[in-house]
Structure 1
Amino acid sequence: MQLQLSFSALLAGFVLVLSLQVLDAAPIPNPRSSVSMVTLPLKRMEQVRNVHPLILLQQHINRGNRRLARMSGRTEPSVEFLERELQKRVYAVEGSEGLERRLNGNGVSRSEENTLEKRYNRFGIPEKPKSPVGADSLAVLKKGNGTGSNAGQQKNSVAIANTPTANNSLGLDIEAQDVGYLAAVQMGTPPRDFLILMDSGSADLWVGAENCQSQNGGGCGNHNFLGPQSSTSFEASQVPFKVTYGTGQVSGTIVQDNINIAGLALDAHTFGVALVESVDFSGARTPFDGLMGLAQSTLSEQQTLTPIEALAQAGLVTDAIVSYKISRLADNKNDGEITFGGLDETKFDPKTLTTVPNVNKQGFWEANMDAVTVNGKDTGLKGRTAILDTGTTLIVAPASDAAAVHAAIPGAQSDGQGGFTLPCTTTASVALTFGGQSYSIDPRDLAFQPIDANDPQGDCVSGITSGNIGGAQEWLVGDVFLKNAYFSTDVTKNTLSLAKLV
């Protein structure tokens, strides 16, 4: 069906978009003999998007449902189902005329479908057809701690990271309104910077191959690519791999090449190069070069060690631990970090640190969730578990659980399609409890985005949505929560740790 092309691309929603422009992420010199962990600080990126928040919400819901199904070992929702859900949302926002325009590709000929698909990848549907591809996507460049700003004339400008507070530090970007996090990693010989999405919900490392092709036709965008032409240490194989995410997929071959994470060199590390990328990754407006999965390698489609496991095996870090301090756009601090090999105790209150077993048998990071409270009142949601995933933007809960939480938030309402709205001015405190310690979600994270950008005091899309693809008591907990806690995973001990930020 020809209509499927446009809407398949729309289903992509938001993964993470970062820029290739900030490549000054060299590690701070530190004697190798004293290294026990490696810290990568996070940088912020802001991006303007003319997309209706309720349509973006549906893309988040679709992505979360696919991701949760994969994580819980259940059948993923079909493309047809996800299309219908997105079409219903477009109809609710733009009416029958808007839906017909989207289905008919804004009135262009079918021969232009490829252009439309690139336009409608993770960036969503523009509220109105108004400009050529990418022309409505100018970014705002914030430098350093945010005290200086310039109007970016490029599609994807990235904030320069603050000076790291720990040794061996690099930058990790925050895309748009806190939708994802990435770091610069050196690859190949001579080494070059690749900007990589850091994802605790998958377990494969890949970058685009030199001869990468988009599933949509053509090349894989203005990205950095790896192969024998650019790296003298590159060793190819004929072993294939394929990874499917909540949005998009890649396929290619397993290779070996040198990589360097904040000055720690993994020579002849095994990972993948993507020969084919879906438009979610290959699009010209998607400027990150690859993805690093930091779940356990039992999940790896490539059947190889994750970088943190390889670093620990090589003795370059003491423990196979990855720790996250992700920052919030609204704070304008640009101070997030990802730490390899330990916990950075300057980032959290040690009295609040709690460590709990990983209850997931597949290799994801999942913990028992003791309680969910709203303004200190228990919602009665017992026996739940939460998959903690830096690669998911929102919180996806079973429908009845999401309804119970919002019933306790003054002014919250269901939108009838799995999402919820609440007052942008809400002061409601939603908290999740793990290991006996409660961690509150900042109301600014709960009120994820105003429905009307011109009315920031009106109604907002809620950062908690519903999905019924996982288990009846299983939550997918993404960055809406993780911005509010220090988060650490330990492969060797098979545990997760959380602490309150300072």
Structure 2
Amino acid sequence: MLLSSALLTTGLVVLGLTDDVHAHPAHAPFLSIPLSRLGPRPETHPLPPTIVHQQHVNRAIRRHELMTGATTTPDHVLIENLRRRAAALPPHLQKRFNHPGLEALFRHPQAGERDESQNSSSASYKAEGSTREGLTPATKPTFKHTLGLDIQGQDIGYVATLQIGTPPRDFRLLMDSGSADLWVGAEGCKSQDPFDDQEGCGKHTFLGPQSSSTFNDTKKPWKIQYGTGAVSGTLVKDTLVIAGLKLPNYRFGVARVESGEFTPDYIPFDGLAGLAKATISQQGTVPLVEALYAAKCIPAPVVSYHIPRFRDGYNKGELTLGGLNPDKYDPNTLVRLRNISPFGFWEAHVDAVKVGGKDLGWSTRTALFDTGTTLLIAPPADVSAIHAHIPGAYQDPDGLGGWTVPCVPKKSKSPVMTLTLGGRSFAVDARDIAFLPVDEANPQGNCTSGITAGTPGGPQQWLVGDVFLKSVYMSTDIASDTITFAKLKKRAK
């Protein structure tokens, strides 16, 4: 059964804690990693927002299939979904977006997805700090053992800078909560993508004997297929340092062959660090979090996340290894849930769902929590019931399960939507439900909904991504196999 996770929309996350001494927030020497964001690529043409939305849906489909070992949806089905969304565009938008990018997209299901970060012209985001090399730096860290973590695109990926080798050099790694392996590009790396116009793996930082005197290649092969993208190479040993925490002779992978999702020069990371459980490791290595814990660098194998929002206009996001940052969440709202996923991911029961203050009477739903998924995907009947209580919402005519909602929701005393977890209600921010304007020239009009129909795992299972996770503080505890949620402090430090 295939248990590796998806990638290119990987945004970190999912979370948990334990009932024992490892669980409570304390000022122990654990690691915090702030998050920041990636700006647009001005030299490229934007794709229609509805196409970007469908790309997220397609990735969510693949990501869930990899999480559960389900049969993989063929590429031609995903391409047809994109074609149907394009055909359903209003005539004036079809003309505006009639450019070669769409044709490339239809030839190759992942083509063009690298450009989605530019579809942000309607967002009023002013980052703190200047943009450098396509990545906007985070605000200055405030917690001990802290790293800046840049965010790729519109809250879809999180990139931390680690040091590897002797002498140590910086590597930017995409931090992924849905996989458990760490890899960087190898010296002499090759591209396997037929659509890639370059032979090598782009202008990234690579690791090998020419750059590191402590590099030791074990020659043992490995390969990983993500939801979008694939890499293969050999396992190596070298020194890794993260926020001053040193792991000598750490065992991980170098990629000697990468697919085109990773190789272009504008891809802002040099590899990937999986933060999930060892049970899903495709390399058969000790994942980074567990290795840090075994080396007594952190007091518990805990990962906590405060995910920033592109539209907030500031970025105080943070990733913490080893515990929870008490400056980020309200301790009176903390709930701890048992992880029920049999595959090593993060899943829990949902007690109730309310929309506009109305309880929909659901108490049997479960949710796979994953920031590698941008949207919230639920069975069609559930999505229809949710949107029936959102004023102005209507189903898209293309028959793909998407909905349209007002970009500016009607003011109400009740949150648009809440999920009850562990007996406590957590609101979904209305800005995240209004995903992207259908017409970017009219950002106050209609938006594609961040809640979309799909069949993640039967009529009771949801795949819950950043649409919900940006509104909560989350952590995962590998030792106790639990997930923790809490409400964010207002303007968390």
Is this a same-fold pair by TM over 0.5? yes
Structure 2 partner of 1:29: none
1:61, 1:248 → 2: CA distance? 16
Structure 2 partner of 1:38: 31
Q: 1:78 to 1:460 in 2, by over 3 A?
A: same
3-state SS of 1:183 partner: strand
Structure 2 gap segments, 5+ residues each:
1-5, 12-26
Give the counterpart letter for 1:417 in structure 2.
L
1:165 paired residue among 126, 142, 152: 142
The answer to whether residue 263 in structure 2 is matched with residue 269 in structure 1 is: no
Structure 2 partner of 1:214: 191
Q: 1:454 to 1:140 in 2, by over 3 A?
A: closer
Identity %: 48
Structure 2 partner of 1:493: 480
Trace 1:57-76 onto structure 2 (pairs within 5 A). Answer: 57-76=53-72
The answer to whether residue 411 in structure 2 is matched with residue 436 in structure 1 is: no
Q: 1:433 to 1:89 in 2, by over 3 A?
A: same
Structure 2 partner of 1:376: 357
1:441, 1:160 → 2: CA distance? 26
The Cα shift of 1:270 comes to: 1.3
The Cα shift of 1:418 comes to: 2.0
The answer to whether residue 472 in structure 2 is matched with residue 472 in structure 1 is: no
Q: 1:105 to 1:439 in 2, by over 3 A?
A: closer
3-state SS of 2:282 partner: coil
| Range that drifts further, 469-478 or 91-100 | 91-100
TM-score, length basis structure 1:
0.83
The Cα shift of 1:455 comes to: 0.8
The answer to whether residue 389 in structure 2 is matched with residue 408 in structure 1 is: yes
The Cα shift of 1:493 comes to: 0.5
1:245, 1:401 → 2: CA distance? 28
Q: Kindly indicate whether the alpha-carbon contact (under 8 Å) linking 1:40 and 1:172 is maintained by their aligned counterparts in 2.
A: yes
Q: Kindly indicate whether the alpha-carbon contact (under 8 Å) linking 1:212 and 1:276 is maintained by their aligned counterparts in 2.
A: yes
Give the counterpart letter for 1:286 in structure 2.
I
Structure 2 partner of 1:257: 238
Give the counterpart letter for 2:72 in structure 1.
E
The Cα shift of 1:46 comes to: 2.2
Q: 1:14 to 1:99 in 2, by over 3 A?
A: farther
Runs of 4+ residues over 4 Å off in structure 1: 94-106, 116-119, 124-127, 139-143
Give the counterpart letter for 1:274 in structure 2.
A
1:77 paired residue among 68, 73, 88: 73
Q: Kindly indicate whether the alpha-carbon contact (under 8 Å) linking 1:414 and 1:421 is maintained by their aligned counterparts in 2.
A: yes
1:101, 1:191 → 2: CA distance? 42
Q: Kindly indicate whether the alpha-carbon contact (under 8 Å) linking 2:174 and 2:272 is maintained by their aligned counterparts in 1.
A: yes
Trace 1:319-358 onto structure 2 (pairs within 5 A). Answer: 319-358=300-339
The Cα shift of 1:125 comes to: 12
Q: 1:117-162: CA deviations, max 9, x gaps? A: 99735326999xxxxxxxx99x99966x36xx6xx6x8x5222221
3-state SS of 2:115 partner: coil
The Cα shift of 1:475 comes to: 1.3
Q: 1:67-116: CA deviations, max 9, x gaps? A: 1111122111111211111121222237799889678659xxxxxx9xx9
Structure 2 partner of 1:120: 112
Trace 1:358-369 onto structure 2 (pairs within 5 A). Answer: 358-369=339-350
Q: 1:213-244: CA deviations, max 9, x gaps? A: 11125111111111111111111122221212
Q: 1:265 to 1:141 in 2, by over 3 A?
A: farther
1:321, 1:237 → 2: CA distance? 29
Say which structure, 1 or 2, has more relative contact order (CA 8 Å, 6+ apart). 2
Q: Kindly indicate whether the alpha-carbon contact (under 8 Å) linking 1:52 and 1:126 is maintained by their aligned counterparts in 2.
A: no
Give the counterpart letter for 2:300 in structure 1.
D
The answer to whether residue 456 in structure 2 is matched with residue 463 in structure 1 is: no
CA-atom RMSD, angstroms? 3.0
Structure 2 partner of 1:186: 163
3-state SS of 2:163 partner: strand
Give the counterpart letter for 1:184 in structure 2.
T
- What is the aligned length? 453
Q: 1:177-209: CA deviations, max 9, x gaps? A: 222222111111111111111111111111111
3-state SS of 2:89 partner: helix
1:480, 1:181 → 2: CA distance? 16
| Range that drifts further, 461-470 or 311-320 | 461-470
The answer to whether residue 420 in structure 2 is matched with residue 420 in structure 1 is: no
Structure 2 partner of 1:396: 377
